[in-house]
Each structure stands twice: as C-alpha cells, then as structure tokens.
C-alpha cells in the first residue's frame, strides 16, 4: 500500500460523550460539521473514489445554489461521477 501524505496543521478537537471529535465551521453552508477524530481511510477502493471525484469536481457544478438544492445537486453529481463505485464504498 502506498504511503498517504498528511497535511500538517492543527484542528480543534472536543471530547463529547467520550468521543474525540473534530469541529469545523462551514460559513458557506451555514452549518457546523462534526467528524470523528483519527479516522483515516486508505483502502484501494477509497483511493479509486477519490480519483473519480477529483476528476469530476461535482461541487463546482452545484456552486452558488441554496443549501437544499446544493445537497440534492451534489448527490446527483456524485452518483453520476461514481457509477458502480458509489455502492461499493
């Protein structure tokens, strides 16, 4: 398996109900995003999905829409970009 590059930097962490969580403010979406800390997915399937998403750039197709329409558009764009891989990962 190839070595995965990590981005240097610091991200705010919080401990809530015994879980270490990463908290991100997303002003462009008007929401706060909470993710589990320490989860790094490195499988070949994940890399395949990442490559297809990088080529398709689905968020650019949905840019500038209100959040509900943006999410719907993004779902459709991701399904189109991933095809059969969307259910595999």
Higher pLDDT, 25 or 73: 73
**Contacts of residue 24, Cβ cutoff 8 Å, sequence gap at least 6:** 11, 32, 33, 34, 35
Tokens (6 digits) for 57: 């750039």
Mean pLDDT of 62-73: 92
Q: Whole-model pTM?
A: 0.53
Averaged pLDDT score across all residues of the chain: 78
For position 39, what pLDDT does the model report? 65
Q: Does residue 3 have a pLDDT over 80?
A: no
Angle at 59 between CA 54 and CA 62, to 5 degrees: 150
Instruction: Give yes or no for a contact between 48 and 81, defined as CB atoms under 8 angstroms apart.
Output: no
């Amino acid at each position: 398996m190839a070595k995965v590059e990590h981005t240097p930097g610091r991200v705010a962490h919080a401990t809530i109900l015994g879980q270490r969580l990463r908290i991100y403010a997303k002003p462009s979406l008007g929401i706060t995003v909470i993710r589990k800390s320490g989860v790094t997915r490195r499988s070949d399937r994940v890399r395949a999905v990442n490559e297809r998403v990088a080529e398709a750039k689905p968020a650019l197709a949905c840019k500038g829409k209100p959040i509900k329409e943006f999410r719907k558009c993004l779902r459709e764009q991701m399904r189109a970009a991933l095809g059969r891989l969307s259910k595999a990962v």
